[in-house]
Structure 1
Amino acid sequence: MHAAERHQRILTRAREEGRVEVKDLASRLSVTPETIRRDLTSLDRRGLLHRLHGGAVPTGQLPANPGVGGREETRSAEKGRIARAALAQVPDNGTVILDSGTTTGRIADLLPADRELTVVTHSVPIAAKLARNPAITLHLLGGRVHGRTMAAVGPWAFGALDGLFVDTAFIGADAICATRGLSTAEADEAQIKRALITAARRTVLLADRTKFGRTESAYFSPIEDIDLVICDSGLDTGVAEEIEAAGPRIEFA
């Protein structure tokens, strides 16, 4: 079967059922899962499908990005495990960046009150949590507060990072692709995330499996600029191998 015919069958099935899975398509079309992953990536790049963990959905069927409150309830157990695993990457008496997001917010909940640490963040909810921790020296970046993420963005926040250098940055992303890097749904969020990575000696990406194998509109970093990825154990093996081949080590929580 030629690729064009395979692509048409994949699109037809996705539109009929609302979602397609790599393993199911490989079985139905008598090809390898790797071939299907390449097909889905090609269709995603053409704007015909959106890649998701283990499969894809038709364009236009992805839910809108929820606000912080809604995202707190999504994949809560996985985010908790990822945050606990990330604690091992927090340096003793060092300086860290916590990006905005629900998983990085879990790290803020877990930081002990007897371990001195300097934390830089542009997230208002994270800053509110850390302000009550007596062991934390907190620096909140200013700027326009984004209504969905409750994080400071724009020139003020970006300018405050000029000349800053920290030990470790803990970063989130809306979408992660081995070939197309890290991306998010908002251009101003992408700008600040890029600056956070530049300010850190080492960058740790925190993401559950639903963020992998897809892209969003605002690119902010190649995958090779990430030192460590911490993800839940449900990540597709093929996707994990693609990420590690691009540079960072993956740790499963």
Structure 2
Amino acid sequence: MKDDRLSAIRQHLYSHGFSHIQSIADAVGASLPTVRRDLLTLEAEGAIVRTHGGARIADTVGTEIAFELREQANLAAKRAIADAAFEQLVPKSTVFLDAGTTVLQLARRLRLDPMPLSIFTNCVTVAQVLMDVRDLRITLIGGQLRPENASMVGPIAESTLERLWIDQLFLGGGAIAEDGCIYSLDEHEARVNQLMLSRSANKSLLVDSSKFGHRLTYRVEPLGADLQVFTDSNLPAEWRARLKNLSCPLTEVPLQQGRQG
């Protein structure tokens, strides 16, 4: 319980910036003395900086918390999507798992029910989740580490991808815009995603419904008939129609209302 509370405090401070101790206590449902002890622990770990009457997140751990927050967002939908995608895995095939947080849930699902696979990934977290799992041969491709996504990008990653041929790709997406294209926040991430798509036989996009109708800076690839989309049943009707017009195969995973993680 203490570990959960410490994580909750870190996430609260990342989301809200400087907070008074009373506000932190209210947010995590703990007493003031307990929160003061927790803040001392987090300060000793270098995770937060205590100031008069409150605390703020330490600058050096901001990207780590950001990744944690993205992983937890819409968690029920991501897990449901991962369950559906898991059924598409073909034993003894070569699979690429990218650095999306929904794809990470697929890795966690695979850890529970492993099968013989050769896994390539550019995500440090995916490699850590799967590194000791029987029947899996894991290759973490090299490159420049992008901490915001725990991903390997840049010329070395691109060169490696150009020499691979992948049976199955499971790709995440930062946003799906009105023009029917996948977008990324980062130029290097977008380039690596483009190469993954060009070097894969069977391609699946794992995105929860909140990603649709948004645009980020860098275009990755248009949706089309060769890209299977896995999403949750909260997908707006207009997007369901648009994907049909694009001849994009769609798998909608049932999701109970009010349980978004």
One fold, TM greater than 0.5?
yes
Instruction: Measure, in 2, the Cα distance between the counterparts of 1:79 and 1:137.
Output: 24
Instruction: Measure, in 2, the Cα distance between the counterparts of 1:149 and 1:200.
Output: 22
1:195 Cα offset (Å): 0.7
SS of the equivalent of 1:196 reads: helix
1:129 Cα offset (Å): 0.9
Distance 1:226 1:216, change over 3 A: farther
Equivalent residue for 1:95? Answer: 94
Equivalent residue for 2:222? Answer: 222
Equivalent residue for 2:77? Answer: 78
SS of the equivalent of 1:228 reads: strand
Equivalent residue for 2:192? Answer: 192
Code of the residue aligned with 1:193 in structure 2: it is: N
SS of the equivalent of 1:244 reads: helix
Aligned residues: 189
Instruction: Measure, in 2, the Cα distance between the counterparts of 1:73 and 1:107.
Output: 14
TM-score by length of 2: 0.69
1:244 Cα offset (Å): 2.2
1:162 Cα offset (Å): 1.3
SS of the equivalent of 2:92 reads: coil
Equivalent residue for 2:105? Answer: 106
Runs (5+) with no aligned partner, structure 2: 1-62, 254-261
Q: What is the 5 A alignment of 1:1-253?
A: 67-111=66-110, 112=112, 114-177=114-177, 179-224=179-224, 226-253=226-253
% of aligned pairs identical? 26
SS of the equivalent of 1:224 reads: coil
Instruction: Measure, in 2, the Cα distance between the counterparts of 1:199 and 1:243.
Output: 23
Task: Assess if the C-alpha contact under 8 Å between 1:176 and 1:212 holds in 2.
Answer: yes
Code of the residue aligned with 1:189 in structure 2: it is: E
Code of the residue aligned with 1:67 in structure 2: it is: A
1:249 Cα offset (Å): 1.0
SS of the equivalent of 1:247 reads: coil
Instruction: Measure, in 1, the Cα distance between the counterparts of 2:210 and 2:114.
Output: 34
Q: Deviations over 1:122-149 (max 9, x none)?
A: 0000001111112111111111110100
TM-score by length of 1: 0.71
Equivalent residue for 2:56? Answer: none
Structure with higher Rg: it is 2
Q: Which runs of 4+ in 1 moved over 3 A?
A: none
Task: Assess if the C-alpha contact under 8 Å between 1:230 and 1:252 holds in 2.
Answer: yes
Task: Assess if the C-alpha contact under 8 Å between 1:180 and 1:215 holds in 2.
Answer: no
Instruction: Measure, in 2, the Cα distance between the counterparts of 1:231 and 1:168.
Output: 18
